[in-house]
Protein backbone atom coordinates (compact mmCIF):
# COMPACT_ATOMS: atom_id res chain seq x y z
CA UNK A 1 0.00 0.00 0.00
CA UNK A 2 2.85 2.35 0.83
CA UNK A 3 4.58 1.76 -2.51
CA UNK A 4 1.28 2.45 -4.29
CA UNK A 5 1.06 5.81 -2.54
CA UNK A 6 4.67 6.57 -3.42
CA UNK A 7 4.04 5.77 -7.07
CA UNK A 8 0.90 7.91 -7.02
CA UNK A 9 2.87 10.81 -5.52
CA UNK A 10 5.56 10.48 -8.20
CA UNK A 11 2.92 10.33 -10.94
CA UNK A 12 1.21 13.40 -9.50
CA UNK A 13 4.50 15.32 -9.34
CA UNK A 14 5.31 14.49 -12.96
CA UNK A 15 1.82 15.45 -14.10
CA UNK A 16 2.11 18.76 -12.26
CA UNK A 17 5.46 19.51 -13.85
CA UNK A 18 4.11 18.90 -17.33
CA UNK A 19 0.96 20.90 -16.66
CA UNK A 20 2.93 23.76 -15.11
CA UNK A 21 4.76 24.32 -18.38
CA UNK A 22 1.52 25.36 -20.00
CA UNK A 23 0.56 28.99 -19.51
CA UNK A 24 -2.83 29.93 -18.09
CA UNK A 25 -4.99 32.55 -19.69
CA UNK A 26 -3.68 36.02 -18.74
CA UNK A 27 -6.59 36.74 -16.40
CA UNK A 28 -6.27 33.36 -14.71
CA UNK A 29 -2.58 33.17 -13.84
CA UNK A 30 -1.66 31.67 -10.50
CA UNK A 31 0.38 33.81 -8.12
CA UNK A 32 4.06 33.17 -8.85
CA UNK A 33 5.35 33.02 -5.25
CA UNK A 34 2.92 30.20 -4.49
CA UNK A 35 4.58 27.86 -6.98
CA UNK A 36 3.96 24.13 -6.58
CA UNK A 37 2.01 24.68 -3.37
CA UNK A 38 -0.67 26.54 -5.35
CA UNK A 39 -0.89 23.68 -7.84
CA UNK A 40 -1.25 21.09 -5.07
CA UNK A 41 -3.92 23.20 -3.40
CA UNK A 42 -5.94 23.13 -6.64
CA UNK A 43 -5.88 19.34 -6.70
CA UNK A 44 -6.63 18.83 -3.00
CA UNK A 45 -10.41 19.30 -3.22
CA UNK A 46 -10.55 16.90 -6.18
CA UNK A 47 -8.53 14.20 -4.40
CA UNK A 48 -10.75 14.48 -1.29
CA UNK A 49 -14.06 14.45 -3.20
CA UNK A 50 -16.18 11.45 -2.08
CA UNK A 51 -16.82 10.37 -5.67
CA UNK A 52 -13.07 10.32 -6.39
CA UNK A 53 -12.29 8.43 -3.17
CA UNK A 54 -14.93 5.80 -4.03
CA UNK A 55 -13.56 5.53 -7.58
CA UNK A 56 -10.03 5.00 -6.21
CA UNK A 57 -11.28 2.16 -3.98
CA UNK A 58 -12.68 0.41 -7.07
CA UNK A 59 -9.39 0.56 -8.98
CA UNK A 60 -7.52 -2.69 -9.35
CA UNK A 61 -4.34 -3.38 -7.41
CA UNK A 62 -1.39 -1.61 -8.98
CA UNK A 63 -3.50 0.85 -10.97
CA UNK A 64 -2.21 4.35 -10.32
CA UNK A 65 -4.71 7.22 -10.50
CA UNK A 66 -3.59 10.35 -12.34
CA UNK A 67 -4.86 13.84 -11.68
CA UNK A 68 -4.31 16.06 -14.72
CA UNK A 69 -4.62 19.80 -14.16
CA UNK A 70 -5.03 21.85 -17.35
CA UNK A 71 -3.62 25.27 -16.57
CA UNK A 72 -3.83 26.38 -20.20
CA UNK A 73 -7.59 25.75 -20.34
CA UNK A 74 -8.63 27.94 -17.39
CA UNK A 75 -11.92 29.77 -17.83
CA UNK A 76 -13.31 32.76 -16.01
CA UNK A 77 -16.90 32.17 -14.84
CA UNK A 78 -18.89 33.73 -12.02
CA UNK A 79 -15.97 36.05 -11.23
CA UNK A 80 -13.57 33.11 -10.65
CA UNK A 81 -10.98 31.27 -12.66
CA UNK A 82 -11.89 27.61 -13.03
CA UNK A 83 -9.18 25.08 -13.89
CA UNK A 84 -10.22 21.78 -15.50
CA UNK A 85 -9.01 18.59 -13.81
CA UNK A 86 -9.26 15.09 -15.29
CA UNK A 87 -9.04 12.05 -13.06
CA UNK A 88 -7.60 9.13 -15.03
CA UNK A 89 -6.70 5.49 -14.65
CA UNK A 90 -4.60 3.65 -17.22
CA UNK A 91 -4.76 6.66 -19.54
CA UNK A 92 -8.56 6.76 -19.66
CA UNK A 93 -10.35 9.86 -18.29
CA UNK A 94 -12.88 8.73 -15.71
CA UNK A 95 -14.03 11.89 -13.93
CA UNK A 96 -13.88 15.59 -14.77
CA UNK A 97 -13.99 18.54 -12.42
CA UNK A 98 -13.36 22.26 -12.47
CA UNK A 99 -11.62 23.77 -9.45
CA UNK A 100 -11.12 27.40 -8.51
CA UNK A 101 -8.10 28.88 -6.75
CA UNK A 102 -10.19 29.36 -3.60
CA UNK A 103 -10.95 25.61 -3.44
CA UNK A 104 -14.44 25.53 -4.89
CA UNK A 105 -15.19 22.40 -6.87
CA UNK A 106 -17.62 21.75 -9.68
CA UNK A 107 -18.32 18.37 -11.32
CA UNK A 108 -18.08 18.57 -15.11
CA UNK A 109 -19.89 16.27 -17.56
Neighbours of 46 (CB within 10 A): 21
Task: At 26, give phi and psi (nearest 5°).
Answer: -50, -40
pTM equals 0.69
Q: What is the pLDDT of residues 56-77, one digit of tens each?
A: 999 988 899 999 999 889 999 8
pLDDT at 92 over 50: yes
| DSSP secondary structure letter of residue 41 | H
What single-letter DSSP state applies at residue 27? G
pLDDT digits (tens, 9 = 90+) for 26-40: 578 766 666 677 778
Rounded CA separation 24/99 (Å): 14
Amino acid sequence: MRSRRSLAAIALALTLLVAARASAAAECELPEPEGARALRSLLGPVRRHPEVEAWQQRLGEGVIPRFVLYLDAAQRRDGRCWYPVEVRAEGVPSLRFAVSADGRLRREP
